[in-house]
Amino acid sequence: MLCVRHTLDRLRGSPAAPTIIISLAAHVQRLVLEFWGLLNWIRDVRDVVKNGEDYRTRPWDMLGAHTPDQSEAWRLHYAGIPVWLQQEISYELVVYEVVEPRTLPGDFSQVPSYPRLVLAKRDLSGALNMPGEWRRAMDAVVRRQLCISQLPRLLEDGDDEGPPTKRLREGAMFVSEGSSSLGPAAPVFFLQGDREARTIGHGLPAQPVATTSSQTSTPTQPSRRARARAKKKALTGMQPPPPPPQNLIPARQWYAIEHVQEYAVWSRALQQVSPLPQPRTSVKYYFAPPWMLDSLRGYPPDPKTGRYLHHWISIQTFCRMRLFDQTINGRPLTIAEWRDALWGDYNVHETGPASASVAPREATRHSLRSNIRRLFGKLNTLPSYHADVRAELGETVVTSDMAAKDMNIRQRVVWEACETNWRCEVLALDALMVGSHDLPQLERWIRESAVSRVWGSGTSGLDVVPLADGPRLDCWQGPGEAEWESCRTYLAAFVEILASWSGFPPTLQGGEAKVRTCGAQEYARIYQGAVDFYVSCFISRFGRLPVAPVRPPPSAGTVADGGCIPN
């Protein structure tokens, strides 16, 4: 049944070819027939066969049984069950009737089905082609076609080792983000003043105050003028202007997203660890980063957000398929790659920058941008973005104007991006912490099924994308909220998963059992401790802030009548 749940979740997440559907249907049919036969055997047939009485005239609601054992066949025959006795061909074998093969009726398809139930053509002994032995081959077919799907790793081998040419050099400082697809940001050399920066024409920022080799390490007192300016600002309430949107890096600093509601415990945990240092490698995301699809609270909106959101609705089905379809490159994408994908320009320019004066970094950036365009546009025939496209979000047709102004559409899309990223990241971190990538297949499925109980009923590790028509569970309410008691199950599953990780805090030992019945104060303590531990583990392994779960949108119905987003 675990295999069936795994495959059904895989089919919910992405479409499948007819051959895969046939394999699954045959596998489910076999399981249903086998379970039904076992139930009938236990309920009706077992006692009859055990007693050995003559029930040959009694009708049974079954087709029959097959066995190679003559004594077993005799007992089944006396119990009134039709028997197919499997015997080796010999001269003593009694032939009841010889039949000739006939052609199929005209209304039958002449095309052989695929995959076949028996796929043992190379078995010269014929052992695997014996009746009853087809199950082994069928299991192999189903597992190869359906169950091999696995979430790609968020951290590839060697990703945790920074490139040797990107070391921090004396006289250079790392600012902004640079290109996340190229590892650490490029070193920017500061000039002494704004005038020199302007004369070069590159818009370089002025050098911040820094100590030189002749200065001591002890802090100096601010000058009289500096103290006067600080006092004046304090009296007038002047605040420094917020940084421009392009300089915000939500992968390293927590910012509230405008149109979704965060859980206080998660927000507090992310705030406490912000800001993070420059990561050693490019940070990656499974799904579109939620902060690219919405504005950040307290900061002016990015004019590109509406286009990003509109095009994301068009490509999200493909991005969902990428997660588990082995025929598509499903690796997580860097921030710069997600920007290219969401911008939607998939026209590949094969020539690229040919000038010798072009910096190697720009040439590499062009190559990476071309790879993304090939992945989305050329290989998978996704069209480039056009404002007139009418994207489909469930049963709602979304125009570019709706994507820019409809609040319900934005809330739903951003919540789905948060939820999918969060589920994928929990699976990826757990696989890294317990080494489930190296476990046997069945043991890995069992572990992933246990992890999926953190956000749902616990079907399989492929249940990472919320269903369009499924329930939107508010799983992470804290004490004092209306339905926090219903969240005990999810926190218990979360703590149980964390308990198998190295470094699990002793103060949380046994928390998976306590949270089911404890009071509000103890529940809040375990809740906060579990979230803090998860955040610290994620940062230490992946070098960025995790995507936290957020509250589902208030309306789970139509999205066409939502409020307007102010400009």
The residues pairing with 393 across neighbouring beta strands, listed in sequence order, are 396
What ranges do the domains of the chain cover? 2-88+112-147
Tokens of 61: 């609601």
Of 130-139, 195-204, 400-409, 521-530, minimum mean pLDDT range: 195-204
Distance of CA 181 to the CA centre of its chain: 20
Rg (CA), the chain: 31
CB of 111 closer than 8 Å to CB of 95: no
Average pLDDT score over residue span 397-404: 89
Nearest Cα residue to 286 out of 118, 460, 150: 150
**CA–CA dist 399, 320 (Å, integer):** 21
Count other C-beta atoms under 10 Å from residue 130's C-beta.
14
Average pLDDT score over residue span 195-223: 40
3-state secondary structure of 283: coil
For residue 13, name the pLDDT band (cuts at 50, 70, 90).
Answer: low
Helix (H) or strand (E) holding 85: strand 83-85
Q: Is the pLDDT of residue 168 over 50?
A: no
**Which one is predicted more confidently, 470 or 237?**
470
3-state secondary structure of 327: coil
- Residue 174, Cβ density class (10 Å: 0-12 exposed, 13-18 middle, ≥19 buried): middle
For residue 176, name the pLDDT band (cuts at 50, 70, 90).
Answer: very low
Q: Is the pLDDT of residue 20 over 80?
A: no
Of 48-52, 231-235, 241-245, 310-314, minimum mean pLDDT range: 241-245
**Which one is predicted more confidently, 531 or 367?**
531
CB of 258 closer than 8 Å to CB of 300: no
Instruction: Give pLDDT, residue 84.
Output: 83
Count other C-beta atoms under 10 Å from residue 261's C-beta.
16
- In tens, the pLDDT along 477-490 reads 999 898 899 999 99
Tokens of 140: 């192999």
Pick the most confident of 94-98, 230-234, 239-243. Answer: 94-98
Tokens 């789905």, residue located = 416
Tokens 């499924």, residue located = 470
Instruction: Give pLDDT, residue 313.
Output: 93
CB of 61 closer than 8 Å to CB of 44: no
Tokens of 287: 């799904």
For residue 528, name the pLDDT band (cuts at 50, 70, 90).
Answer: very high
- Residue 292, Cβ density class (10 Å: 0-12 exposed, 13-18 middle, ≥19 buried): buried
Average pLDDT score over residue span 216-220: 41
- In tens, the pLDDT along 245-273 reads 556 789 999 999 999 999 999 999 999 99
Residues 6+ away with beta carbon under 8 Å from 564: 405, 406, 407
What pTM was computed for the model? 0.67
The residues pairing with 396 across neighbouring beta strands, listed in sequence order, are 393
Distance of CA 214 to the CA centre of its chain: 52
**CA–CA dist 31, 1 (Å, integer):** 9
Percent of the chain scoring above 90 in pLDDT? 28
Residue 200 is classified by DSSP as: H
Instruction: Give pLDDT, residue 112.
Output: 66
Question: Any idea how long the chain is?
Answer: 567
Q: Is the pLDDT of residue 549 over 50?
A: yes
**Which one is predicted more confidently, 7 or 436?**
436
Phi (first) and psi of residue 491, to 5 degrees: -65, -40
Average pLDDT score over residue span 293-299: 90
Average pLDDT score over residue span 307-318: 92
Tokens of 497: 């998963």
CB of 4 closer than 8 Å to CB of 26: no
Average pLDDT score over residue span 431-441: 87
Phi (first) and psi of residue 543, to 5 degrees: 75, 15
Q: Is the pLDDT of residue 311 over 80?
A: yes
